Structure 1
Amino acid sequence: MKSSEIYQAKREIINFCHQLTKGLSKPNAKFITDMIYGLAKGCSPLLSEISRALEEDIDLLSTIKRLSRNAMDFNDYAKLYHNYLDMIKRQIKDDMLVIVDNSDITKPYGEQFESLRRVHDGSKGGTEKGYLTANMSITTSQTKHPIPVYAHTFSVAEEGFSSANVETYQGLNYIDELFNQKKYTVVMDRGYDSNDIIQFLQNKKTDFIIRLTDKRWLKNGGRWYKVPELATRHKGKLALKSTIKGHQYQLKVSHLKVTLPAFSDENFFVVIVYGYGQKPMKLLTNKEINSKADVLRIVKGYILRWRTEESFRVQKQEYNLEKVRTLSLNSIRLIHNLINFLVGRNSIRIESAPLFNEILYHRAKSLKAKDKIKFYLYRYIRGLSVVLKADTVGIRIFKKVEHRVNPGQMRLII
């Protein structure tokens, strides 16, 4: 491994940390820098692995205790997010898609974790002990890699918890402030098909695309239909080729204007998609549809949601998020946020495509040829980790030691 590669990889991470920690107290800034570097190098949320990655001269247990104590006490999330959003604001453009989805951090064998309760396990089905996470993200313009813009870990057992919907509302209010006067469209899965969510978005005059459940009733042509019955009456007039999760699909698409029972004075559109799965996919939107291009834009917008779901897989497979062992909910929340910041930072680096990226892709030693890969995030993370793991001195030489000009200490003139 070339020393120049190690230095450049370290320098890029340290520069990212300097921007991320602006305005934080010096101890907090040093702590966040240590955590980010440890996560990037070790790809593990275990404080023991992060501590080893730092290559400090003191004993390992002292470093672990320091990181654990700081993670439990950290509360300056507002400045962290402000600095992070300053770094990604160039990626925010008018009329973007904002992907909204819940995920989970399961701890099936956990006993002592703070506010641990049973949650829906999205990967295995059923319920398991763990925490829920509210996640909202955008994608880079060209390569369509995910950039998390909001992430919050919560527990139904923690003090002040109201409901999962309230957690979603808080995130959407945050997104509204982030985009300011820019338009955006919220894209949601079936778990968000509720009158409360729709009412919230309608009140905010926010465009949305929501996948419908089969339980909902819709009115079309003066008659009420259950969603599956309505779908069977429209077999698809428009043809669309699409790649979803690496597979090619020939889709047939129809659309029609509908009314919802709880919103009798408002019109919506339903887009029905055949060709993906045994059942047709039904998408509800409040966006106007006046042409074929509008219909295809709705379908492609929802399909993009699957691309951003890769960020969950990255968190759990590349950074091993579910192996976190800190018992404090605040510590878990912080680690989840820092991993999201790294994912966003890596996606932006992939989009800008500096020459150093090619070195990282090569170091990852992927089995697939480079020209066959469209989603580079896995390869980037692994390549960065391989380069950083060749480092044996840590980041202490990058930490500035402040020398006081006037220490204010008494001097004896002899």
Structure 2
Amino acid sequence: MKFICNMIFGILASKSCLLSKIGRNLNEKIPLQKTVTRLSRNLNEFDGGEELFQAYLKSIKNCFDEKSVLIIDGSDITKPASKELEGLCEIRDGSTGEIGIGYHTLGAAVLSDRKLPYGVYSRIYSSTEKGFVSEDNEVLKCFEYLSNHFSKSNIRTMDRGYDCNRYYEYFINHNEKFIIRAKKNRNVIYKGKTVNILELTNRFKGKYKLE
């Protein structure tokens, strides 16, 4: 309990999730390095994440319903000056398009009736860490987590980076609602014939086509 209170206070006081800034705001009469080491050790040993998340969901449940939109998106954290951090891997920097070093991230948020997103899933991972299978596997872990905590009617929404048959199959097999922005090179079957999706949408107006 003391650890949780320290973390919450430190995050609020520092407006940061960096342990060094959290520790600095605890104003303990010991060296900052010892405070950070203790927080790191407690984080590593902490196993109450699911219990905390359930309490968090309970506190925000009145802000969304079974038709609220779930937004799923991946990104990256670049660490161009880091050499000693564990698990660094090659990533494509989304802001520059260049290959660098850092970590992959994956998150999900639910849109509330207050027009605010509430984070409901967050993961940082590396392709070099032990147990890593693939990026697809990490995405499916997120899907499974949302399946366990949200209704099938909550609309899973993703950008074209998730236009993947494996993801379509997951949602269809689990009878979950979803929207995935399709890539221009995707083919679909229309009236028994295979046709490029962009060619097909150009035949329609209104709600079937978004510029």
Asked whether the two chains share a fold, i.e. TM above 0.5, the reply is yes
Indicate yes or no: 2:158 matched with 1:158: no
- Residue in 2 that maps onto 1:178: 149
Question: Once the 2 structures are TM-superposed, how far is the Cα of residue 149 of structure 1 from its aligned partner?
Answer: 1.0
Question: Once the 2 structures are TM-superposed, how far is the Cα of residue 200 of structure 1 from its aligned partner?
Answer: 0.8
- Residue in 2 that maps onto 1:81: 53
Instruction: Answer yes or no: is the 8 Å Cα contact 1:92–1:179 preserved in 2.
Output: no
Any idea what SS the aligned residue of 2:21 has? Answer: helix
Match runs of 1:53-202 below 5 Å: 53-142=25-114, 144-180=115-151, 183-202=153-172
% identical aligned pairs: 36
Question: Once the 2 structures are TM-superposed, how far is the Cα of residue 34 of structure 1 from its aligned partner?
Answer: 1.6
- Residue in 1 that maps onto 2:190: 220
1:212-238 CA distance string (max 9 Å, x none): 10121122244332223223333x2x3
Instruction: Answer yes or no: is the 8 Å Cα contact 2:64–2:113 preserved in 1.
Output: no
- The verdict on how the C-alpha distance between 1:105 and 1:74 changes in structure 2, with shifts beyond 3 A counting, is farther
Count the aligned residue pairs. Answer: 211
* Counterpart-to-counterpart distance in 2, 1:91 and 1:138: 9
- Letter matched to residue 137 of structure 1: A
1:135-154 CA distance string (max 9 Å, x none): 11102203x11101111211
TM-score, normalisation: structure 1:
0.48
- Residue in 1 that maps onto 2:210: 273
- Letter matched to residue 89 of structure 1: K
- Letter matched to residue 210 of structure 2: V
- Letter matched to residue 82 of structure 2: G
Match runs of 1:374-389 below 5 Å: none
- The verdict on how the C-alpha distance between 1:140 and 1:92 changes in structure 2, with shifts beyond 3 A counting, is closer
Question: Once the 2 structures are TM-superposed, how far is the Cα of residue 206 of structure 1 from its aligned partner?
Answer: 0.7
Question: Once the 2 structures are TM-superposed, how far is the Cα of residue 84 of structure 1 from its aligned partner?
Answer: 2.1
Match runs of 1:392-407 below 5 Å: none
Q: Which runs of 5+ in 1 are unaligned?
A: 1-28, 239-252, 256-271, 275-414
Any idea what SS the aligned residue of 1:32 has? Answer: helix
* Greater length-normalized contact order (CA 8 Å, ≥ 6 residues apart): 1
Of the two, which has the highest radius of gyration? 1
- Letter matched to residue 187 of structure 1: T
Instruction: Answer yes or no: is the 8 Å Cα contact 2:68–2:112 preserved in 1.
Output: no
Q: Which structure: greater helix fraction?
A: 1
* Counterpart-to-counterpart distance in 2, 1:98 and 1:65: 36
Question: Once the 2 structures are TM-superposed, how far is the Cα of residue 211 of structure 1 from its aligned partner?
Answer: 0.3
Q: Which runs of 5+ in 2 are unaligned?
A: none
Question: Once the 2 structures are TM-superposed, how far is the Cα of residue 197 of structure 1 from its aligned partner?
Answer: 0.5
* Counterpart-to-counterpart distance in 2, 1:121 and 1:32: 33
What's the Cα RMSD here? 2.0
TM-score, normalisation: structure 2:
0.89
Any idea what SS the aligned residue of 1:173 has? Answer: helix
* Counterpart-to-counterpart distance in 1, 2:92 and 2:5: 33
